[in-house]
Amino acid sequence: MRAAAVTDWRPALAPAILRRHDHARDADLLLLPERVVVLRGAAGTVVGLCDGTRSVDDIVDELAERFPGSPVATDVPPFLERLRKEGWLR
């Protein structure tokens, strides 16, 4: 069972943050004021689901369907929480 605060949260990018795909690197990026963050592996997919309409549970469920057998239920919520603490998600 997941914590209620995490379950109810519907993450979305903070207003000053943009997500873009860099074709030269074939990687997703977060464009922050005066900084660029390269999202490696499935991080771009996870962040792409953070549109403010899906709860963390919804994101985990969708990723579990896309990546069967991957530890999304244990890895994704702490990843999203780290991004929130950085101020990149609201």
Q: How much is the pLDDT for 79?
A: 98
Question: pTM, whole model, 2 decimals?
Answer: 0.89
What is the band of 15 on the pLDDT scale with cuts at 50, 70, 90? Answer: very high
- Domains of the chain, by residue range, sit at 4-86
- List the structure tokens of 17: 């943050």
pLDDT digits (tens, 9 = 90+) for 19-62: 999 999 999 999 999 999 999 999 999 999 999 999 999 999 99
Kindly report the CATH number that applies to the domain delimited by 4-86: 1.10.10.1150
pLDDT digits (tens, 9 = 90+) for 63-72: 999 999 999 9
Q: How much is the pLDDT for 8?
A: 86
